[in-house]
Amino acid sequence: MKRRVRFVGSAILALTLCCGASIFFQAEAQPKKATALEGVKFDTASSLADNLKIFAGKDVIIHLRSGKTLQGYVRSVGNGLLHLEKLAARDFYDALVRMEDISAMEAKFRDLK
C-alpha cells in the first residue's frame, strides 16, 4: 500500500513539473519584436559633436582612432571634448575624450518588446 501511495505521489509530482515546464516554455516561445526607440537618430548633416549632444544621458560606444573603444553615458559635450561617465567594465571611472580622436560612435536604436 505504501508503495502505491509513493508511486502515485511521484507520478503526480512528475506530471505537475511537466505541466509547469511546458507553460514556462510557451511563455518564452512568444516571438519578441524589435521596436524603434523614440528620439534616437543620427543627423548626418550635423557634426559629430552635435550628434553626441543628442545622446546626452544615454549610453554610447565611442571608437577612437587608436583602435580603443570606450562605452559610457554622455555627460556633456564641450569645446572639442566629450565627457563620458560610468564607463563599462570600469567601476567609478569617467573619461574625457578629445573630439578629434573619435573615429566613430555607436548607439542603441532598437529594443526587443
Encode pLDDT of 55-101 as tens digits.
999 999 999 999 999 999 999 999 999 999 999 988 899 999 999 99
Highest mean pLDDT among 7-16, 29-38, 83-92: 83-92
CATH architecture of the region 36-112 = Roll (2.30)
Assess whether pLDDT exceeds 60 at residue 27. Answer: no
C-alpha cell at 1: 500500500
Mean pLDDT value of segment 1-6 = 66
- Check the CA dihedral 44-107-96-56 and report its sign: positive
3: cell is 508503495
For the stretch 42-59, pLDDT in tens is: 989 999 999 999 999 999
pTM above 0.75, yes or no: no
C-alpha 89, offset from chain centre: 14
**First-residue to last-residue Cα distance in the chain:** 52
What per-residue confidence (pLDDT) applies to 34? 84
What mean pLDDT do residues 93-113 have? 92
